[in-house]
Chains A and B, each alone.
Chain A
Amino acid sequence: MGAECVLEFKNITKRYGTNTVLHDVSLSVKPGEIHALLGENGAGKSTLMNVLFGMPVIHESGGFSGEVFIDGNSVVVMSPHDAMAKGIGMVHQEFMLIPGFSITENIKLNREITHRNPVSAVLGDNLELMDMPAMRRDARKALDSVGMKSLDELALVKGLPVGYMQFVEIAREIDKTGIKILVFDEPTAVLTESEAKLLMEVMRSIAESGIAIIFITHRLDEVLTVADTVTVLRDGKLAATRQVQETSLIELASLMIGRTGSESVVDLPPREEALTGKIALKANDLFVEMPGEMVKGASFEVREGEIFGIGGLAGQGKVGIPNGILGTFPASGQVELFGEPLPLNDVRATLSKGVAMLSEDRRGVGLLLDQSIEDNIVFSAMQVHRRFLKGLLPRVKAAPPGKVLRSAVWALSVVLVLAGFFGLTRYQLAFNRSAAVKAYIAFQKQATAVVGEADIIIEDTASSADDVVLPSGGAAAALEEEEAEPVVSVFLSEKAADTLTPGEKILLFFANSAWAFLAAGLLLAAAMYAYQCMIKGSVTLKDTSGIRALSKQMIHDLDIRCTGSGQLVGTLSGGNQQKVCIARVLALTPKFLFVSEPTRGIDIGAKRLVLETLVRLNREQKLTIVMVSSELLELRSICDRIAIVAGGKVAGVFEPNANDADIGLAMSGITPERSGAV
């Protein structure tokens, strides 16, 4: 081929450890060609691009074998910066734009056109001033060339519609001088239909100017619309390279899915009895606001006792379905479980109705990493069903006190406490008003006048006031001399009992028994509360022996490799962590189980065990299971039916042995019209 190809990969193989992610992949791109790169998640598209851009992850993990040619010269791209210098640009899936900067500034970021000035002459180039008019001109030109003629180049990126940001991103890449290859990483994922159409036109016009485009996508129809050549990757291998005119939607779909061997991941034991066909779960028009996995009106039915698979590409909403039904993300729509409506957005209610979920985010949602295996296993069951708890107080078998009795006791205790406070305050207020204290204060005021030094006075006052606290003969004497009206309990008590007025007697009673009142009120309230707790059994502690017994059982049944049930979950391997998650779900004794990406990130052996456990639960306990997975092979091997989700909707429901092409089409959002759909 030689120099006529601007970019050529030759026999690229990349391994991460023992895992081969790219196997002998070759492809070539001519100038001005739009080359589509098609494949499922994990097919190796991103890895190939990482090789092209010299991402650190490639070099840190031992590099790759094979050769990359640019303009016919063998090159090794060492870093993304290096890639830029060699004329390779990338339009990212997630926007790499600074919201607070204007479009011009974003486009020219780190490639600013600058003026020299006296300061920069002395202190270096970094202090040169920006040449805004020149930058604006460049930005304008770049924006015009991507069809954004009406967009103001000085507008801030913040607040732009998402689609526009995508075009700004493209404008930035185009503005780079010497760009030869431009990679579009799923550019249409966030665009509306009309924006996507515009993007296609822009891609065409860019290609016409001689720049080669690599177009990464899931959407088959877009490939057919815009690309010249298409390369399909599957499981890290080159499935095929086709000229677009010579291929069809169906062919591409089956190339993308392609059955890798007929062997099943697990042995599937037959059911003892056939499915009844009753509906276990019915979702109608389900919407879920899960960032990155939005569900937009999915409807499906799950039959009792079956394993129902949900497949589809990443970001299409398949993960949003279980999360929305469980209630961890805001959802709307109608969901019925065993004929009863299921409340949405209420996790506790959903769980207590017997729905359980094995989360796709094992470390983030599925586990308490810094707690022990046993605590993790029983947590949900303890919280939802109050199991594995034992009462701290002895349980009393009695009917709870009636409402009247209850409120009477509470009211009495409040009255008692208030009476106590009343007594205390009477005591105090009266005390302060007493003539004895007044006399002291008057005396101190005189002393102030004499001495005139505040500090000393304060000290004196304190000590004299302290003296007053203890009712002394002196105070009483002072009282008698002044012949002031005695209102204070201490002073009252000094008077002969027969000289007290009835009002004074009551006051004295409250003042003297203030403490008894307070204590009685508080004790009564405490006793009442304790009694209620004893009846309800609500003061509980973890039942350690019960927890340990269950954990031991689970560790044995699921073959969790650990040093003991007290080992921290964070120190287990991924597969064993997943088994702990399963144990936690089983401890809930669910009637309906959602399983989301159960085999993500665990090794083959553990994968098999996890799937076998699911099948066993389904066969032995007649548990209805909905399994969400990105791995079609996995779904095919254990599911009774598979729904494919695309664009937040169910694009089709298939038998596990359905045609590759049909499933592939459904994945790119095209509902198949041929047979095969159930």
Chain B
Amino acid sequence: MTQDAAENKSSIGSSVKKALAKAGITRLIIFTFFIVLCIMADAAGISVPSMLGFTVKRAGMYGVMALAMLPAIQCGIGLNLGMTLGVLAGLVSTLLCIEYGLTGWPAFLFSAILGSVIALPVGYLYGKLLNKLKGSEMTVSTYVGFSIVSLLCVGWMLFPFKNNALTYALGPGLRPTHNMNTSYGALLNNFMAFRIGKMTIPTGMVAFFLLCCFGMWLFSRSKTGTAMIAAGSNPRFAEAAGINVDQMRMIGTILSTVIAAVGIVVYQQGYGFLQLYQAPRQMGFIAASAILIGGASVTKAKVSHVIIGVTLFQGLLTLGIQVANKYVPGGGMAEAFRIIISNGIILYALATSGGASRE
């Protein structure tokens, strides 16, 4: 008993150190950077509250897509950069929704549900592929994502969509950008939205995102969920407990693809536009870096990582671009900064977390 007490005492002594380690050095650095940006923005005369409002809006927009990374990491396939498959399923369902001329809540639900339904078989085939190529999932999923985007560039030209709201007037093919206002644009954003000073809170979207997170949290506590996480974090342990590891990876992959499909629908309603052709290419990277910044590694992730990560990432992006534009004048710089900042964050997140997780 006395030894126990002694051990407890020493653990209290090192609790500060532990808390620091728990918060994660990467997250702390990024958070500090975020605070510095806020101060710089304020000094430059940018309204910080309205920027924070934008941050919340963007976090809600990208949140569900970042959540799609969670089951992928948990089941052991790592960062699912091929979640573009799910994104494309969501795009197809939204196109059908516009094609059929649906509006409002029916439009949103139709796109989300049909997107998920399309994502199921797609995710199944993708999962089969990943189970055959264990060990190099990151590379495979990256190129699956790239090639399917290119393949669908052909598809967008060939699919027999008839609604003139979608197609080019002359010749076949879908136009690259579509306004969502006629279907479900800003539907969740405006649902019970309210303002605090200069900050607009898109209640519906944030609530939807948190609802999805809650669902994933519940899943992670279910029998299947615990089995999936075990299969991801230690396949040999899972096998020795009689778990079919391939099946668990399959469940994680399908889940990731389905959530990505719902994610793009949420994204489009927040963004107000549907973008085709090369636009979905980078979605996987944005989602991956968000969850990495949140403290996840390539092998371990929690719901909290998604929420923290997506907020920090979008906060940095929103503020970073504004501040950079203020301090470095010149119109053409905005786009360059956007690319430098977003890719820089991705690289930083990958470099710090990818290294630590591979013991």
Contact = CB atoms under 8 A, between A and B. Distances in A.
**Co-assembled chains A and B:** yes
Interface stretch (A109-117, A422-430, A609-617, A656-664): A422-430
Interface in A302-347: 326, 328, 347
B230 interface: yes
Contact of A441 (B8, B106, B164, B243): B164
B163 A368 contact: no
Contacts of A448: 169-170
Contacts of A441: 164, 169
B218 interface: yes
Nearest to A540: B223
B168 interface: yes
B304 interface: no
Contact of B169 (A328, A383, A384, A461): A461
Contacts of A121: none
Interface stretch (A16-24, A290-298, A464-472, A628-636): A464-472
B165 A563 contact: no
B240 A383 contact: no
Nearest to A433: B162
Contact of B242 (A369, A383, A457): A383
Contact of A428 (B4, B162, B300): B162
Contacts of B99: 428
B7 A561 contact: yes
A412 to B, nearest CB: 18
A565 interface: no
Interface in A422-462: 424-425, 427-429, 431-432, 437, 440-441, 444, 448, 454, 457-458, 460-462
Interface string A352-378: 100001010100111111110001000
Interface string B290-309: 00000000001000000000
Interface in B294-330: 300
Contacts of B164: 432, 437, 440-441, 461-462, 464-465, 468
Interface residues of B, number: 40
B335 interface: no
B121 interface: no
Contacts of B175: 458, 462
A520 B163 CA distance: 27
A379 B169 CA distance: 60
Given A375-B226, A440-B164, A365 B170 contact: no
B134 interface: no
Contacts of B3: 561
Interface stretch (B52-60, B191-199, B231-239): B231-239
A380 interface: yes
Interface in B1-15: 3-4, 7-8, 11
Contacts of B4: 561
Contacts of B106: 515
Contact of A465 (B11, B165, B226, B300): B165
B258 to A, nearest CB: 15
Interface of chain A, main secondary structure:
helix
Q: Which of B101, B164, B230 neighbours the largest number of chain A CB atoms within 10 Å of its CB?
A: B164
A98 interface: no
B165 A466 contact: yes
A382 B182 contact: no
Nearest to A514: B100
Nearest to B242: A348
B115 to A, nearest CB: 14
Most B CB within 10 A of own CB, among A328, A392, A462: A462
B101 A389 contact: no
A516 to B, nearest CB: 11
B138 interface: no
Task: Find the residue from B113, B221, B223 having the highest chain A CB count within 10 A.
Answer: B223
A383 B227 contact: yes
Contacts of A429: 162
Interface of A: 326, 328, 347-352, 357, 359, 361, 364-371, 375, 379-380, 382-384, 386, 389, 392, 424-425, 427-429, 431-432, 437, 440-441, 444, 448, 454, 457-458, 460-462, 464-466, 468-469, 515, 518, 522, 539-542, 561, 563
Given A384-B241, A424-B100, A561-B3, 10 more contacts: A328-B240, A347-B240, A348-B242, A361-B236, A365-B240, A371-B229, A383-B242, A454-B170, A464-B164, A540-B222
11 contacts: A350-B242, A357-B240, A364-B234, A364-B237, A367-B234, A367-B237, A369-B234, A384-B242, A431-B101, A458-B169, A464-B164
Nearest 4 interchain pairs by C-beta: A348-B242, A465-B164, A461-B169, A347-B242
